Structure 1
Amino acid sequence: MRLGVTMFATDLAMPVHELARALEERGFDSLYVPEHTHIPVSRRTPHPSGAELPEEYKRTLDPLVALSYAAAATRTLRVGTGILLAAQRDPIVTAKAIASLDHLSGGRVVVGVGFGWNVEEIENHGVPYRERREVARRNVLAMQALWRDEVASFDGFEPSWSWPKPVQVPPVHLGGAAGPKLFAHVAEYADGWMPIGGRGIKAALPALREACEKAGRPAAEVIPFATLPTREKLDHYASLGITQVVANLPSAPADVVLPLLDEYAALL
């Protein structure tokens, strides 16, 4: 079982390059950081939990800049977005940044993609909320063409060169709740599913496998994301054929984070 972690990288949390080194020293597999470009103060959209918006949502570092520091401070640690808000990004610019990071890190980048929940944040980027899934799909497909093809073309830009190419086309994993819409997206253009919290995976696996079979693709990887790991949970996931889990860390200073890392490392 490979174990990674996710943490909101902010200006108040443990510096991301120090966290990355601590993870690699303890044998962790990966580090994922989330994205929010901004949080409109109107707060018309409540946090999905129904609770008050946590402070870290207002202070999130750009994920690709943060991951560049993490990659530069390590040699083997995989670095990923968890998640990248693809509908809110220019695909040409983002493809270049991700390809550059993968090239410089020696092929260690993973791209977790989400559709977003904050209506006003998304619409501030000129994307109608109801269209965010389709915009994200289009942007990911465009990025994959730019990563893969010597001369890339896609609806929205003419045949173009875009170098450097990544060492490998970075795997794309979609976050979100189980359901036919999400699984259709996974089966079409993603490599895996990242269920937040990891609940309900066993019941959802048959539908995910069926969607992939209909699309003529191999079964998607399943990565329980932002879970609180225990030996029992990891054994359960392993019994389902899951080989990678991403544990949740609080967005906090080192004196809070490092003891938790030691607890999680004991499960490796």
Structure 2
Amino acid sequence: MRHGIVLFTSDRGITPGQAAQAAEQAGFDTFYVPEHTHIPIKRTAAHPGTGGADLPDDRYLRTLDPWVSLSSAAALTTRIELATAVALPVESDPIALAKTIASLDLLSGGRVVLGAGFGWNTDELADHQVPAHRRRTALREHLEAMRALWTEEEAEYSGEFVRFGPSWAYPKPSRIRC
């Protein structure tokens, strides 16, 4: 049986690198971090835990970037997998995000796992120009486009939300796990 630990990273408390190092030393197999780029003050989206616009606490407001967090964890660990729970790819440019993830995978020795979701905070998504009713399609396209960049020698993609012509993109992740 494999076990993982989730740290809701923030600008307070233990750093992601310190937490991942402790988790690895304790025998955990995976270190997970979440993603929120920002939290709009005026919101209509219901939080899954509270059922309303109220948040359970202020950690959502203070969330660190997952890829920077996992990079700091990679620098202080050697074995533990580095994962997102949950990343929001539709809030990033898919070409740049594919490069970031592949680079982290290379520099960590192939330990990156992408846990992706379409997001509950539709107000946050709206600020990234992702229509709430199309967020599943947008996520599918972002993941397909990134997978093309990671697996094809000359990748291209054409969809409603993501579009790019024939391109080279390196590095390639050592294993595609998302």
TM-score, length-scaled by structure 2? 0.93
Q: Which residue of 1 aligns with 2:39?
A: 39
Aligned counterparts of 2:130 and 2:77: Cα–Cα separation in 1: 36
Amino acid in structure 2 at the alignment position of 1:160: S
Q: Which residue of 1 aligns with 2:63?
A: 60
1:85-100 superposed matches below 5 A: 85-100=88-103
2:5 paired with 1:2? no
Match of 1:136 among 120, 139, 142: 139
Match of 2:148 among 142, 145, 149: 145
2:109 paired with 1:102? no
Amino acid in structure 1 at the alignment position of 2:164: F
Alignment deviations for residues 189-214 of structure 1 (CA, whole Å, 9 cap, x no partner): xxxxxxxxxxxxxxxxxxxxxxxxxx
Amino acid in structure 2 at the alignment position of 1:15: T
Give the Å deviation of 1:44. Answer: 2.0
Q: Which residue of 2 aligns with 1:207?
A: none
Identity of aligned residues (%): 49
Q: Which residue of 2 aligns with 1:195?
A: none
Q: Which residue of 2 aligns with 1:165?
A: 172
Give the Å deviation of 1:43. Answer: 2.6
How many residue pairs align between the two structures?
A: 171
Aligned counterparts of 1:73 and 1:165: Cα–Cα separation in 2: 23
Q: Which sections of structure 1, spanning at least 5 residues, go unmatched?
A: 173-268
Q: Give the SS at the match of 2:47.
A: coil
Q: Which residue of 1 aligns with 2:130?
A: 127
Give the Å deviation of 1:29. Answer: 0.2
2:144 paired with 1:112? no
Give the Å deviation of 1:49. Answer: 1.6
Aligned counterparts of 1:13 and 1:34: Cα–Cα separation in 2: 16
Preserved contact between residue 145 and residue 152 of structure 1 (Cα < 8 Å): yes
Alignment deviations for residues 117-152 of structure 1 (CA, whole Å, 9 cap, x no partner): 112100110111000000000000000111111111
Preserved contact between residue 87 and residue 133 of structure 1 (Cα < 8 Å): no
Give the Å deviation of 1:7. Answer: 1.4
Q: Give the SS at the match of 1:97.
A: helix
Query: RMSD of the TM alignment (CA)?
Result: 1.0
Match of 2:72 among 51, 69, 72: 69
Give the Å deviation of 1:46. Answer: 2.8
TM-score, length-scaled by structure 1? 0.62
Q: Which sections of structure 2, spanning at least 5 residues, go unmatched?
A: none
Greater strand proportion: 1
Q: Give the SS at the match of 1:134.
A: helix
Preserved contact between residue 3 and residue 28 of structure 1 (Cα < 8 Å): yes
Which is higher, the Rg of structure 1 or of structure 2?
1
Amino acid in structure 1 at the alignment position of 2:148: A
Amino acid in structure 2 at the alignment position of 1:123: A
